[in-house]
């Protein structure tokens, strides 16, 4: 990585190598390199020159040495080869020494060895970042489009947060005059590591973006690694503090910064942190309008003016159209005899008094996602997967992850709860047959979604729309959807909630017709008959008994149980 970087002059270089040899004594020097601010171009006499020295069989295993060479303070971090390689492989020292290779360095001896260790380190760091993404975004991790620069910036920023004095090194790395070359040099190791991970089926490349493989996501989700991740972070902070304090203190004294600046360095590091590159700019989620970075910050009105009205003068109307557990708005832009509309949903965290009745209602049967961030993630991830597979769902146009806003296509049509109520009032066999045909198509749609391993999560009839323009079945409100969720719940909620709309005096005939129509469509589209049969279990019937008449519940559950037995 030493190409195009600041090298010491011949005299200073010889003095450094001579000093390293005296430190190593009779032991063999594995490698040596210059690291830190000097390499990044801060070459004035006050800049401390840092050297990483790896020695085979070095005793004591780890030691720092300070010497004045050519009127410059030089600090040498000497480490045993075995210790260094384990710091690279597994963070043995919290990466206090290995992480010096996440920045540019100048090799003094055995550059090939350094490059090999650099790629090995960056490969492990990428894997750890993948694990964190899967744990933090269990649904979206399948959909992320990641620019390779994300790994570089996230690695640097996460360490700067843990060890504030490193902020200045990161800022020096990003100075405009040298940033392009610095990024190019550092990214070589990350790109090489990514190519190795591609060969191991951990990732795939798509139009220059990195995508995490389904196999890797499922592997991480099956393991309990959150505690390990927290332990690594704590270990990293501890060793950085212990090993970095001496170097930074020496630099402080050498450069004569003054006590005020030193205190600002430690206590007010939030200001320089905001100057650093935001890694979320390089982490994207797909929408119908293309990729959107997680750092996107457009609010509702800004989106309306930029996207809906395309910068033209337009009247913007924001109308709240519902939402008990979320804020839902209809945003309209009027201009040039034209009207464009989108729906915006703000995902609020459900406070205890809101979500407790829901989870109490479904106790032992179903647990709801409560956090707004998690519900937004599910809506985005499942919507995009279904959209990419050709299912009719509202197009996602934009996402403001920080404000938990999602901008979606406004779908015009009739929600299924109205169709069910119309079945009750149906006067002719023909109209009844047509309405039941729609119910059957809903069953088909559920079966096809379930075949992908997806459970919709909230399948009340009002979350299903029949589009006005083409009669397609459109699936709404996917914030409780998940991969490998409870598919039986989807069927049970739809059928028993439908029964809720049937008046008690009409008997059970309509409930039976609706259930048979749905089940017929579900099974004809390849749905699992065993799932239908389980709808009749008390685990599900008890949940809906508080608002659907017992006779209706019995009729629906009886048909589901018998259908299962007949088809097996």
pLDDT digits (tens, 9 = 90+) for 151-187: 999 999 888 887 777 888 888 888 767 788 899 999 9
Helix, strand, coil fractions of the chain, as percent rounded to 5: 50, 20, 30
Among 318-322, 411-415, 460-464, the range scoring the smallest mean pLDDT is 318-322
Burial of 261 (0-12, 13-18, 19+ CB in 10 A): exposed
Using pLDDT thresholds of 50, 70 and 90, give the confidence band for residue 356: very low
- In sequence order, what are the residues at sequence separation of 6 or more whose Cβ sits closer than 8 angstroms to the Cβ of residue 395? 287, 288, 387, 408, 409
Q: Per-residue confidence at 419, pLDDT binned at 50, 70, 90?
A: very high
DSSP 259-312: HHHHHHHHH-THHHHTTS--GGGGEEEEETTEEEETT----HHHHIIIIISTTS
Q: Per-residue pLDDT averaged across 105-132, rounded?
A: 96
Residue 224 confidence (pLDDT): 57
Give domain 413-567's CATH superfamily.
Transferase(Phosphotransferase) domain 1 (1.10.510.10)
Which 3-state string (H, E, C) describes 316-363? Answer: EEEEEEECCCCEEEEEEEEECCEEEEEEEEECCCCCHHHHHHHHHHCC
Identify the top-confidence range among 88-102, 114-128, 164-178, 553-567: 114-128
DSSP 37: T
Q: Report the C-alpha gap between 326 and 460 in whole angstroms.
A: 16
CA-based nearest residue to 128, from 218, 4, 42, 216: 216
Distances (CA, A) of 370 to 343, 353, 354, 543: 21, 12, 10, 19
Looking only at the bridges linking them, the beta strands covering 290-293 and 283-287 are: antiparallel
Three-point CA angle 128, 162, 265, nearest 5°: 150
Of 282, 295, 284, 289, nearest to 407 (Cα)?
289
d(C-alpha 513, C-alpha 536), whole Å = 16
Alpha carbons 141 and 482: distance in angstroms, whole number:
12
Domain ranges of the chain: 10-281, 296-409, 413-567
User: Domain 296-409, CATH 3.30.200.20 — does that match?
Assistant: yes
Which residue, among 292, 347, 319, has the nearest Cα to 478 in the 3D structure?
347
pLDDT in tens, 265-289: 444 445 555 667 889 999 999 998 8
Q: What percent of the chain has pLDDT over 70?
A: 83
pLDDT digits (tens, 9 = 90+) for 477-514: 999 999 989 999 999 999 999 998 888 777 889 999 99
Predicted confidence (pLDDT) at residue 379 exceeds the cutoff of 70: yes
Instruction: Specify the 3-state DSSP secondary structure of 126.
Output: helix
Residue whose entry in the numeric block shows the structure tokens 């519902």: 322
Tell me what the mean pLDDT of segment 337-356 comes to.
Answer: 73
Residue 547: exposed, middle, or buried by beta-carbon count in 10 A (0-12, 13-18, 19+)? exposed
Average pLDDT, the chain: 84
pLDDT at position 41 is 75
Is residue 192 classed as helix, strand or coil in its secondary structure?
helix
Distance (Å, whole) CA 477 – CA 490: 13
491-494 long-range Cβ contacts below 8 angstroms, 24+ apart: 491/446, 491/459, 491/518, 491/522, 491/531, 491/532, 491/535, 491/560, 492/535, 492/540, 492/541, 492/543, 492/544, 493/458, 493/459, 493/460, 493/544, 494/442, 494/446, 494/459, 494/460, 494/461, 494/464, 494/518
On the question of pLDDT at 352 being above 80, the answer is: no
Same fold, 10-281 and 296-409: no
C-alpha 339/C-alpha 326 separation (Å) is: 25
Rounded mean pLDDT, 101-111:
94
Pick among 1.10.3720.10, 3.30.460.10, 2.40.30.160, 1.20.140.10: CATH of 10-281: 3.30.460.10
Could you give the CA distance from residue 515 to residue 507 in angstroms, rounded to a whole number? 14
CA count, 13 A, side-chain hemisphere, 567: 19
Q: Which residue has the higher pLDDT, 136 or 524?
A: 524
- Overall average pLDDT of the 365-394 stretch: 86
Tokens of 325: 């557990």
pLDDT at 310: 66
**pLDDT at residue 38 in the model:** 84
Q: Is the pLDDT of residue 388 over 50?
A: yes
Tokens representing 522 are 């579900």
Smallest CA-to-CA distance from 496 within 370, 369, 361 is with 361
How far is residue 488's CA from residue 446's CA, in Å, rounded to a whole number? 11
**Per-residue tokens: 302:** 């800004």
- Full 3-state SS string of 221-255: HCCCCHHHHHHHHHHHHHHHHHHHHHHHHHHHHHH
Task: Supply the pLDDT for residue 43.
Answer: 64
What pLDDT score was predicted for residue 487? 96
**Helix or strand run (H / E) with residue 414:** strand 413-415
Structure confidence at residue 431 as a pLDDT band (50, 70, 90): confident
Question: How does residue 399 score in pLDDT terms, banded at 50, 70 and 90?
Answer: very high
First CA to last CA distance, the chain: 65
**Residue pLDDT, tens place only, 196-236:** 999 999 999 999 999 999 999 999 988 755 544 544 555 55
**pLDDT higher than 80, residue 105:** yes
pLDDT in tens, 233-261: 555 545 555 555 444 444 444 443 333 33
**How far, in Å, CA of 401 to CA of 562, rounded?**
46
Chain segment 5-29, per-residue pLDDT in tens: 566 778 899 999 999 999 999 999 9
């Amino acid at each position: 990585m030493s190409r195009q970087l600041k090298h010491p002059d011949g005299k200073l270089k010889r003095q450094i190598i001579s000093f390293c040899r005296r430190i190593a004594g009779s032991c063999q020097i594995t490698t040596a390199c210059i690291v830190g601010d000097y390499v990044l171009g801060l070459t004035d006499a006050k800049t401390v020159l840092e050297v990483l020295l790896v020695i085979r069989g070095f005793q004591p295993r780890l030691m720092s040495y300070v010497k004045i060479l050519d009127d410059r303070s030089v600090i040498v971090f000497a480490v045993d080869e075995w210790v260094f390689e384990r710091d690279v492989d597994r963070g043995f020292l919290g990466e206090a020494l290995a992480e010096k290779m996440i920045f540019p360095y100048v090799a003094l001896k055995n550059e090939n060895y350094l490059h090999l260790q650099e790629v090995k380190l960056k490969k492990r760091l990428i894997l750890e970042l993948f694990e964190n993404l899967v744990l933090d975004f269990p649904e979206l991790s399948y959909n992320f489009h990641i620019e390779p620069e994300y790994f570089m910036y996230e690695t640097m920023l996460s360490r700067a947060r843990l060890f504030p004095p490193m902020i200045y090194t990161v800022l020096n790395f990003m100075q405009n005059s040298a940033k392009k070359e610095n990024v190019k040099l550092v990214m070589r190791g990350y790109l090489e590591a990514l190519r190795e991970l591609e060969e191991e089926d951990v990732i795939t490349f798509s139009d220059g973006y990195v995508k995490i493989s389904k196999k890797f996501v499922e592997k991480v989700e099956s393991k309990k690694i959150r505690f390990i991740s927290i332990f690594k972070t704590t270990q990293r902070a501890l060793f950085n503090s212990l090993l970095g304090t001496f170097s930074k203190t020496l630099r402080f004294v050498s450069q004569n910064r003054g006590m005020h600046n030193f205190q600002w360095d430690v206590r007010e590091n939030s200001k320089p942190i905001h100057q650093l590159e935001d890694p979320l700019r390089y982490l994207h989620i797909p929408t119908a309008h293309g990729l959107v970075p997680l750092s996107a910050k457009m609010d509702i009105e800004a989106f309306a003016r930029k996207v809906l009205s395309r910068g033209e003068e337009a009247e913007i109307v924001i109308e709240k159209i519902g939402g008990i557990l979320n804020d839902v708005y209809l945003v309209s832009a009027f201009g040039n005899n034209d009207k464009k509309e989108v729906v915006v949903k703000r995902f609020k965290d459900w406070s205890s008094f809101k979500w407790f009745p829901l989870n109490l209602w479904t106790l032992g049967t179903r647990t709801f996602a409560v956090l707004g961030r998690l519900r937004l993630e599910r809506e985005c991830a499942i919507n995009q997967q279904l959209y990419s597979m050709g299912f009719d769902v509202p197009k996602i146009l934009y996402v403001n992850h920080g404000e938990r806003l999602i901008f979606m296509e406004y779908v015009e049509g009739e929600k299924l709860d109205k169709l069910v109520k119309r079945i009750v009032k149906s006067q002719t066999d023909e109209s009844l047959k047509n309405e039941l045909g729609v119910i059957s198509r809903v069953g088909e749609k559920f079966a096809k979604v379930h075949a992908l391993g997806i459970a919709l999560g909230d399948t009340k009839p009002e979350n299903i729309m029949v589009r006005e323009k083409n009669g397609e079945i459109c699936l709404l409100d996917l914030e409780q959807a998940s991969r490998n969720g409870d598919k039986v719940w989807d069927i049970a909620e739809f059928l028993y909630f439908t029964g809720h709309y049937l008046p008690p005096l009409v008997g059970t005939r309509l409930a039976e017709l609706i259930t048979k129509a749905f089940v017929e469509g579900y099974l004809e589209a390849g749905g699992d008959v065993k799932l239908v049969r389980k709808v009749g279990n008390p685990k599900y019937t008890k949940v809906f008994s508080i608002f659907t008449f017992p006779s209706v519940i019995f009729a629906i559950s009886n048909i589901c149980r018998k259908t299962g037995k007949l088809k097996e």
